[in-house]
């Protein structure tokens, strides 16, 4: 995809990378929330779920409005191809399915900074849920493309997402959850 071998190397990401990078962050954020900030388990659980919900909304917004934006310029089209177009052209490329850490880490830092700036002592629990949502997204997305999904929910998510790829890429933007497709009316026609 890139002429530079150096840049090409960083565009290939092992699917376990998000788990390896962000699971320790989740544990640390939960430690901060429960032991340093002394929030109750019930409050932390609610904030964690709220952070996960924020992730699903961000996943939907990014997928719908950024990944499916249709640029007019040559440079815009090239950038769009690198960011998401390659995934639609080669949906089973196992090494380009997960966001590279060079992108995900700065984004995580920015969102965690926003949460800490706005939510104060509640930020660690929300950040933990947000990171958990991201891990779930990448894991589910990888599994959809590379594993036979067993169980009713898994098969349904796989069918839902693959319809986005192969039938109607203007609907079904939620990958880990179709919730926001229902809220914003972008489910299948």
- The pLDDT tens digits for 113-141 are 999 999 999 999 999 999 999 999 999 98
Q: How would residue 154 be classed by pLDDT, with cut points 50, 70 and 90?
A: very high
Domain tally, the chain: 1
What whole-number distance in Å separates Cα of residue 47 and Cα of residue 189?
34
Assessment of whether the complete model's pTM goes beyond 0.95 = no
Question: How large a percentage of the chain has pLDDT more than 90?
Answer: 56
Enclosing domain of residue 18: 5-135
Domain-embedded: residue 32: yes
Q: How would residue 89 be classed by pLDDT, with cut points 50, 70 and 90?
A: low
What value does the CA radius of gyration of the chain take, rounded to a whole number of Å? Answer: 17
Domain-embedded: residue 106: yes
**Residue 9 token pair:** 């190397």
Domain-embedded: residue 149: no
Residues 6+ apart with CB under 8 A from 7: none
Domain-embedded: residue 103: yes
Domain-embedded: residue 150: no
Domain-embedded: residue 169: no
What whole-number distance in Å separates Cα of residue 187 and Cα of residue 145?
20
Domain-embedded: residue 189: no
């Amino acid at each position: 995809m890139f002429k530079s071998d150096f840049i090409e190397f960083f565009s290939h990401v092992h699917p376990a990378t998000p788990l390896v990078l962000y699971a320790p962050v989740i544990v640390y954020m939960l430690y901060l929330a429960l032991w340093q900030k002394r929030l109750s388990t019930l409050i932390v659980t609610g904030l964690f779920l709220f952070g996960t919900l924020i992730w699903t909304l961000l996943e939907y917004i990014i997928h719908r409005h950024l990944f499916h934006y249709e640029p007019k310029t040559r440079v815009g089209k090239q950038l769009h191809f690198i960011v998401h177009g390659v995934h639609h052209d080669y949906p089973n490329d196992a090494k380009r399915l997960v966001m590279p850490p060079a992108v995900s880490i700065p984004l995580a830092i920015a969102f965690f900074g926003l949460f800490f700036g706005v939510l104060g002592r509640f930020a660690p629990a929300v950040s933990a849920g947000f990171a958990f949502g991201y891990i779930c997204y990448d894991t589910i997305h990888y599994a959809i493309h590379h594993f036979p999904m067993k169980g009713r929910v898994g098969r349904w998510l796989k069918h839902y997402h693959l319809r986005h790829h192969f039938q109607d890429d203007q609907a079904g933007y939620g990958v880990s959850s179709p919730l926001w497709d229902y809220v914003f009316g972008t489910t299948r026609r």
